[in-house]
Structure 1
């Protein structure tokens, strides 16, 4: 069973409440020890990267997505009841799209990400999937 705070963070992340997710994960991160500490930090950095994306901060999004991916790569395919592999794949796809389009096209990327008819053309925002034990 996942800790209640982690379930809350997953729900916040999946509802695209990235700032709230950051706060929840930060509390978990501060109270944990390795290897869990780095795992929480990686998830936190992905959430902050998505928060920067929402605020049209291309540089912040690219940096934090990259940092989070580096940390989470070591926890695949699953860790602590989380499907890390799917989170990493979704985040990598988003990061690659941002890197290929650059900051000058960020508003167009965001418009397409938010348009339902664009599914399949651009990556979707990452989701955190939990694994039932």
Structure 2
């Protein structure tokens, strides 16, 4: 949790879940925040939610769903660069763009053969 951030503790719980690879739990945690939020937090939450769901899809071998939501997440989070409320958005976007490129340029047959080699985005804080 970032002491200089005005985001609620539930957001930071979702960040911890995301970084532990608990993407479905992150979605559940952040969805309620997103539904009740106003701008500018609403779109920020939505971008993080979409990123989380994209990685959930990836782990369930839904390549198309993963790529679509990863792209949508990147679009939403670009307006929050370089940092937002203690989150290093520029770093998150760089890692997400690298993952999207990997998904788009790697033979789908080989993507799921070695998931231990995936360079998954992480939410870094200041």
> Would the TM-score normalized by the shorter structure come out above 0.5?
yes
Q: Which residue of 1 aligns with 2:22?
A: 17
Partner Cα distance (2:67, 2:107) in 1: 10
Count of paired positions: 121
Runs of 4+ in 1 over 4 A off after TM superposition: none
Partner Cα distance (2:18, 2:86) in 1: 15
Partner Cα distance (1:77, 1:89) in 2: 11
CA RMSD of aligned residues (A): 1.3
Structure 2 unmatched runs, 5+? none
Deviation at 1:105, TM superposition (A): 2.8
Q: Which residue of 1 aligns with 2:109?
A: 104
Structure 1 unmatched runs, 5+? 116-122
TM-score (norm 2): 0.90
What does the per-residue CA deviation read over 1:77-132, in whole Å, with 9 as the maximum and x for residues that have no partner? 00011111111111100000000014333213xx1x415xxxxxxx511100112x
TM-score (norm 1): 0.86
